[in-house]
Amino acid sequence: MSYKIEIKDQPSLPVLAVRLRTAVDKMPQELDKIFKKIIRYLNEIGEEPSNTYFAAYHNMDMDNLDLEVGIVVNEVLPGEGDIVAGEIPGGRQVSTFYKGPYREAKSSFGTIRQWLDENGCASTGVVYEFYYHSPVKLPESDLITKIVFPIVSTGNLN
Tens digits of per-residue pLDDT, 47-73?
988 889 999 999 999 899 999 999 999
pLDDT score at 156: 63
Q: Which domains does the chain have, with CATH numbers?
A: 6-157 (3.20.80.10)
| β-strands 127-131, 144-153 pairing | antiparallel
Q: Residue 103: its pLDDT value, please? A: 74
Q: How far apart are CA 98 and CA 36, in angstroms?
A: 24
Element (DSSP H or E) covering residue 139: none
Give me the mean pLDDT over the 126-132 stretch: 94
pTM: 0.91
User: CA dist 6 to 19, 30, 51, 147, 151, Å?
Assistant: 28, 29, 21, 10, 12
Encode pLDDT of 73-123 as tens digits. Answer: 999 999 999 999 999 999 999 999 999 887 778 888 899 999 999 999 999
Length of the chain as a residue count: 158
